[in-house]
Amino acid sequence: MDSLRRTSLVAGGFYVLTFVSIPTVGLYGAVHDADYIVGTTSETPVVIGGVLEVIVALACIGTAVALYPVVKRQGEARALGFIGARVLEAAGIFVGVASLLTVVALRRAGAGTDALVTGQALVAFYDSIFLISQGFLPAVNALLLGSLLYQSRLVPRVLPVLGLLGAPLLVVSDAGTLFGLWDRLSPVAAIAAIPIAVWEFSLGVYLIVKGFRPSPVTAGMVAAASARPARSAAV
pLDDT tens track for 215-227: 999 888 888 777 6
Neighbours of 207 (CB within 10 A): 27
pLDDT in tens, 38-77: 998 999 999 999 999 999 999 999 999 999 999 999 999 9
Q: What is the rounded distance in angstroms from the CA atom of residue 11 to the CA atom of residue 5?
A: 10
Q: Which of 147, 140, 127 is nearest to 170 (CA)?
A: 140
Q: What is the rounded distance in angstroms from the CA atom of residue 144 to the CA atom of residue 140?
A: 6
Report pLDDT for 233. Answer: 47
Q: Estimate the crossing angle of helix 137-152 against helix 76-108, to 10 degrees.
A: 150
DSSP, collapsed to helix, strand or coil, labels residue 33 as: coil
Average of per-residue pLDDT across 89-96: 98
